[in-house]
A and B are shown apart, each in its own frame.
Chain A
Amino acid sequence: MTIAGQNPIQITLVRLVNYAAFLVILFLMWAAAIRLFSIPPYLLPGPEAALEALYANAGTIWAAARFTIGCTLAGMAISVTVAIALALAFLLSDGLSRALMPLIIVIRTVPMIAIAPLIIVIFGRGPWNSIGMVALLTFFQIMLGAKKGFTSPTRNTLEMMHTCGAGFWQTLIKVRVPFAIPYIFTGLRIASGSALLCAMFAEWLSGAPGLGALILNAYSAGNFTLMWATTLCSTTAAYLFFTFTIALERFVLNRIG
Chain B
Amino acid sequence: MSDGRGLLKAMLLPGATFVLFLILWQIAVEYGIAPITVASPSRIAATVIREWDILWFHMEPTLLTAIMGYLAAAVTALCLGFLVYSMRRIESSVLTVGAVLDSIPIIAVAPILIIWMGLSLSTRITITAVICLFPMLISVIQGLNTQPKNAQELFTVLAAGPVQKFRLLALPNALPYIFVGLKIAAPLAVLGALVAEWTGAEWGLGVFMINAMFGLRVDQLWSAVFLACAMSTGAYGLVCLFEYLSVEPGQNPDGGKS
Among B52-60, B154-162, B217-225, the stretch that binds chain A is B217-225
Q: Is B191 positioned at the interface, with any CB of A under 8 Å from its CB?
A: yes
> Do residues B97 and A204 form an inter-chain contact, with CB atoms below 8 A?
no
Q: Are B13 and A111 in contact (CB under 8 A)?
A: no
1/0 contact string of A105-119 vs chain B (CB within 8 Å) = 110011101110110
Q: How far is the CA of A215 from the CA of B199 in the complex (A)?
A: 12
Q: In the docked arrangement, what's the CA distance between A121 and B186, Å?
A: 26
Residues of B with C-beta under 8 A to A111:
187-188, 190-191, 232
Chain A residues whose C-beta falls within 8 Å of the C-beta of B11 in the assembled complex: 102
Interface residues of B in 165-219 (CB under 8 A from A): 186-188, 190-191, 194-195, 198, 209-210, 212-213, 216, 218
Report B-chain residues with C-beta under 8 Å of the C-beta of A121. Answer: 37, 213, 216, 218, 221
B90: interface (CB < 8 Å):
no
Determine the residue in chain B with the shortest Cβ distance to A25.
B97
Chain B interface mostly: helix
Q: Is the CB–CB distance between A114 and B18 below 8 Å?
A: no
Among B95, B108, B222, chain A packs the most CB atoms within 10 A around the CB of B108
Check: B229 CB closer than 8 A to any chain A CB. Answer: yes
Q: Are B225 and A22 in contact (CB under 8 A)?
A: no
Option from B218, B232, B258 in Cβ contact (under 8 Å) with A114? B232
Residues of chain A contacted by B107 (CB below 8 angstroms): 200-201, 204, 212, 215-216
Chain A residues near B103 (CB, 8 Å)? 197, 235, 238-239, 242
Q: How many residues of B contact A (CB 8 A)?
A: 49
Query: Which A residues from 156 to 189 make CB contacts under 8 A with B?
Result: none
Binary per-residue interface labels of chain A (197-213) against chain B in the complex, 1 for a CB within 8 Å, 0 otherwise: 10011001100000110
When distances are taken between beta carbons in the complex, the residues of chain B under 8 Å from A113 are 191, 195
Contacts of A80 in B (CB 8 A): none
The answer to whether B116 touches A215 (Cβ under 8 A) is: no
- CA–CA, A211 and B106, complex, Å: 12
Chain A CB within 10 A, most for which of B38, B107, B198, B232: B107
A239 lies within 8 A of B100 (CB)? yes
Shortest CB-to-CB span from A179 to chain B, Å, is 17
Contacts of B14 in A (CB 8 A): 98-103
Q: Please state if B17 and A100 are interface contacts (CB–CB under 8 Å).
A: yes
Q: Count how many pairs of residues, one from A and one from B, have CB atoms less than 8 Å apart in the complex.
A: 121
A152 in contact (CB, < 8 A): no
Q: Considering only CB atoms, which chain B residue lies closest to A220 in the complex?
A: B111
How distant is B114 from chain A, measured CB to nearest CB, in Å?
Answer: 9
B6 interfacial by beta-carbon distance below 8 Å? no
A201–B105 touching, CB < 8 Å: yes
In Å, the complex CA distance between A103 and B15 comes to 8
Which residues of B lie under 8 Å from residue A216 when comparing CB positions?
Answer: 107
Bound complex: CA A108 to CA B97 (Å): 27
List B contacts of A239 (CB < 8 A).
100, 103
Tell me the smallest distance from the CB of B182 to a CB of chain A, in Å: 13
Asked whether, in the complex, the Cβ of B225 is within 8 Å of the Cβ of A95, the reply is: no
Give the contacts of A127-141 with B (CB-CB under 8 A): none
Find out whether the CB atom of A234 lies under 8 angstroms from the CB atom of B233. Answer: no
Give every chain B residue within 8 A of A43 (Cβ-Cβ): 115-116
A98 near B108 with CB under 8 A, answer no
Q: In the complex, what's the smallest C-beta–C-beta distance from B62 to chain A, in angstroms?
A: 11
**Contact assessment for B105 and A115 in the assembled complex, using a CB-CB cutoff below 8 Å:** no
Question: Across the interface, which residues of A come within 8 angstroms of B38, CB to CB?
Answer: 122
With A and B bound together, what is the CA distance between A102 and B235 in angstroms?
A: 17
- A61 at interface by CB-CB < 8 Å: no
State whether the Cβ of B48 lies closer than 8 Å to any Cβ in chain A.
Answer: no
Contact across chains for A224 and B105 when beta carbons are under 8 A apart = no
Asked if A55 is at the interface (CB within 8 A of a chain B CB), the reply is no
Closest approach, in angstroms, between the C-beta of B112 and any C-beta of chain A? Answer: 7
Q: Mark B85-103, 1 if CB is under 8 A from A, else 0.
A: 0000000000111001001
| Contact status A197-B258, CB under 8 Å | no
- Whether a CB of chain A sits under 8 angstroms from the CB of B163 is no
B235 cross-chain contacts in A, Cβ below 8 A: 109
- Interface check A227, CB cutoff 8 A: yes
For A1, the chain B residues whose CB sits under 8 A away are 95
Cβ of B191: which chain A residues have Cβ within 8 Å of it? 111, 113-114
Minimum-distance CB pairs A-B, first 5? A109-B236, A231-B108, A111-B191, A102-B14, A117-B213
A sample of 7 inter-chain contacts (CB < 8 A) reads: A43-B115, A98-B13, A110-B187, A110-B228, A118-B225, A205-B213, A238-B103
Given A103-B18, A122-B38, A197-B106, 13 further pairs, Cβ under 8 A: A19-B100, A22-B100, A99-B17, A102-B14, A106-B233, A109-B233, A109-B237, A110-B187, A114-B232, A117-B221, A117-B225, A212-B107, A238-B104
